[in-house]
Structure 1
Amino acid sequence: MFKKWLWGIPLTLMLVVTGIIVYYGYSIVHFANSISTASSTSSAAGSDVTSNPSSDTIVTTIPKWEGQERVNILLIGGDSRGDDAGRSDTVMVASIDPLSKKAHLFSVLRDTYVEIPGHGKSRLNAAFSYGGAELTKQTVSNLLGIPIQHYVYTDFTGFMALVDALGGIDIDVEKDMYYTSKADKHMYDIDLKKGLQHMDGRTALQYVRFRHDATSDFTRTQRQRIFMTELAKKMQSTTSLFKIPEILEAIAPYVQTDLSPTQMLKLASLGFDIRAQEIHQQQIPPNHLLTNERVGGAQVLGVNVNKLQAYIQKLFEEDNNTSDSSPSGESNE
């Protein structure tokens, strides 16, 4: 009897673990299908997968990313309110080398004066109001000189939902931050105090949006990169892994992407191979390539596109020439 009981322990554990994997797999696939705008024939960059799992698929293993080419994903934070599509409030590019497992997080300054296909020159954040995520993706790809295969879009509500679902993020606020506006009926007022804080979704949104100081969008994008790095660390924690179904359910209504469900599964697998604290962070364009220009009485940020694209390529070449043990850090120059 005792031997039978001992034999039952691993069997019970196996059943429990299998149940957890199936439950998580179903949650991931259901989430992927709910946010994807990709057709069933979409294929991942460098991948031979051409079909999407349905929401009824039972996933017991997360598929591995198979491609060898660099993967560039556009991350868009929108300021849409009501029926107004708005402009992009935040534009970032996550660039991952699947071979070296090295990644860059580029913050693209939204006031950069760029060529928007079909609309002439304007600030970068206008691209979203003209043609949504797809036009923004094309515009940023032309600016950086790299293929951007996919995008992920969310708005203020989605950002707050993600932070709340993770249980908040700890951030050391570098100074007091205060801003108030009647335009949004004070919904997005900012009132933060200097020091280490455990931020919920609403407080975190204040932190990443504050730009009302001498350096404006430059330090704002720096804070966004800091926050995104801390967010990635939290996502990779054991506690967050156990909360995956809850997290996905919370953010699904507010996220849109052209990644197919299969691509999302593979990209998630690739993402967990990258250490969050080793992600290289850069402001784009870097300060030394920026020029202040006036267009129609308004100030914009000019850049030599050829020099910017050469700068991006140099960063990628340095990845290939640097050993895995080399430290990474942030660069604005």
Structure 2
Amino acid sequence: MSTGSPLRHPDAGSRSQMTKRAWWLVVLNIVLPGSAQVLAGNRGLGRFGLRTTLGLFLVLASAGVLYALNPELVFTVATNSIGLWILAAGLLFCSVLWVVLTLDTLRLVRLVKARPKSRPYIAGLATVVMVAVAGTSGYGAYVATTASGVLSTMFITAPSEPPADGRYNILVMGGDSGSDREGMRPDSMSVVSIDADTGQAVIIGLPRDLNPIPFPEDSPLHASYPDGYGYEDHCDVDACMLNSIYTEVDQKSPEMYPDAEAAGSEPGIEGMRDAARGITGLTIQYYALIDMQGFSDLIDALGGVDINVAERLPIGGRFEDLSDVEGWVEAGQQHMNGWTALWYGRSRHTTDDYDRMARQRVLQQAILTQFTPANVLTKFQGIAAAGQQVVKTDIPQGALGYFTNLAGKTKALPMATVELVPDNGVDPEDPDYEYIRGLIDAALTPAPE
């Protein structure tokens, strides 16, 4: 475009020409930031803006291609603290540059020369887009820096464990440290077994009243309980139950696992891991301990969960006649807040432990459904704050890219369950572990087509 262009050298006395020029400059600034300055203002600033804009487009395009070819690599960068801080710095820089270019474009427009009726629309469009783009970039920078802090707090720095027989097996425990208990005791326990390639997952529910509970020979608990934990009521706490292993090791014999804390775990957790290995026969690479007291905060941060309740359930209460219940979870389709969902999963009256296990699986699935990218981004602050209080795990931060990619595959597939309950042929008071492991093997091994 020549130097005689009306964009650079307009007829300031023509309101018609100045109005058209104003619209052109504002639209050019929106479509290709920096182009307005190249055509009508400071060419140095304009070239810098154009280079930055084209560089951003190139980075986004490259990220899209890389995601299509190797999504795990993109997730690895996006869950790495250094990568997140670099992303935050880039977004903040783009936000500031966009504001500078837009304000400079409004200066070039010379609104006082445009038609009076057009002035608020021209200024309004430029301002609204500036606030939207700069605000989005600024929020993205905030999310990146906050995520970096959350991930560094929740996940450990350690080498990744390899899959065993092509699968990752994660012990998931819901911890409840009520006022009537000495220490924390897992109230719900399961092993989530995930195919390392396809993401196909199987949830193995572990009832707390299994007795006796075997330990692998390499476990320090095997020497104390060679016939199994709880055999002939042999244990060092009041109730010889699966979840009592955590309390016993944590309170009575933490020296059994001297390296637990250095590895991002706890002695009680390691005792539970050995119990899960003994029950299932699987290698348990990682654990996740969920604090049920803070669980409701996470559900509230997600905006609640939708669950179809099979039967009316009491909230609270200790008396058999239910005279002291605090409320009810009604039957039917319900949208639950965190407090109600927590009681849906833990309610004891009128049901047994096996019913609770089944409800907790339903609750887990409902929460996973709420973890959509849009939901997480729009409610990130609350989710991040709740997440730091809810989850303790030994999954290393360096493995998050892989597991994030794997989780995407898992979510797209149906999830199988193996409940070790009487309806499935398991007698918790006299468990046949060969039969139990046969059930697990059948669920983990795909049926031939």
Which TM bucket (shorter chain)?
0.7 to 0.9
Deviations 1:135-158 (A, max 9, x none): 111111111010111111122222
Q: Report if aligned partners of 2:418, 2:439 keep a CA contact under 8 Å in 1.
A: no
Question: 2 CA distance for matches of 1:281 and 1:32?
Answer: 29
Residue 277 of structure 1, CA deviation: 6.4
Candidates 66, 76, 79, aligned match of 2:176: 79
Candidates 295, 317, 325, aligned match of 2:445: 317
Seen in structure 2, the aligned counterparts of structure 1 residues 25 and 101 have a Cα distance that, compared at 3 Å, is same
Residue 232 of structure 1, CA deviation: 0.6
1:283 aligns with 2:419: yes
Q: What residue number does 2:247 align with?
A: 129
Q: Report if aligned partners of 2:176, 2:293 keep a CA contact under 8 Å in 1.
A: no
Q: What residue number does 2:74 align with?
A: none
Q: What residue number does 1:306 align with?
A: 434
Deviations 1:24-71 (A, max 9, x none): 4433332122133x4x3x222238xxxxxxxxxxxxxxxxxxx99311
Residue 237 of structure 1, CA deviation: 5.5
Greater RCO (Cα-Cα under 8 Å, separation 6 or more): 1
Output the TM-score relative to the length of structure 1. Answer: 0.75
Describe the SS at the equivalent of 1:96.
strand
Deviations 1:159-197 (A, max 9, x none): 111111111001121111125038xxx999562221221
Amino acid at match of 1:200: N
Q: What residue number does 1:202 align with?
A: 339
Residue 115 of structure 1, CA deviation: 2.8
Amino acid at match of 1:202: W
Candidates 358, 369, 384, aligned match of 1:222: 358
1:238 aligns with 2:369: no
Deviations 1:192-212 (A, max 9, x none): 221221111110011001233
Amino acid at match of 2:196: P
Q: Report if aligned partners of 1:236, 1:272 keep a CA contact under 8 Å in 2.
A: no
Q: Where does structure 1 lack aligned partners over 5 or more consecutive residues? A: 48-66, 292-299, 323-333
Q: What residue number does 1:176 align with?
A: 312
Q: What residue number does 2:33 align with?
A: 8
Deviating more after overlay: 152-161 vs 280-289? 280-289
Q: Report if aligned partners of 1:159, 1:201 keep a CA contact under 8 Å in 2.
A: yes
Describe the SS at the equivalent of 2:430.
strand
Deviations 1:263-310 (A, max 9, x none): 34432332122226611122135634322xxxxxxxx53311112112
Deviating more after overlay: 108-117 vs 199-208? 108-117
1:115 aligns with 2:243: no
Candidates 252, 262, 268, aligned match of 2:388: 252
Q: Report if aligned partners of 1:96, 1:102 keep a CA contact under 8 Å in 2.
A: yes
Deviations 1:46-98 (A, max 9, x none): 38xxxxxxxxxxxxxxxxxxx99311111111111358323210102211112
Greater percentage in helix: 2
Q: How many residues align?
A: 287
Q: What residue number does 2:256 align with?
A: none
Seen in structure 2, the aligned counterparts of structure 1 residues 99 and 200 have a Cα distance that, compared at 3 Å, is same
Q: What residue number does 1:63 align with?
A: none
RMSD over aligned Cα, in angstroms? 3.1
Q: Report if aligned partners of 1:86, 1:129 keep a CA contact under 8 Å in 2.
A: yes
Describe the SS at the equivalent of 2:436.
helix
Question: 1 CA distance for matches of 2:165 and 2:397?
Answer: 20
Seen in structure 2, the aligned counterparts of structure 1 residues 5 and 253 have a Cα distance that, compared at 3 Å, is closer
Q: Percent identity?
A: 24
Q: What residue number does 2:102 align with?
A: none
Question: 2 CA distance for matches of 1:24 and 1:266?
Answer: 21
Residue 261 of structure 1, CA deviation: 1.9
Q: Report if aligned partners of 1:188, 1:206 keep a CA contact under 8 Å in 2.
A: no
Greater percentage in strand: 1
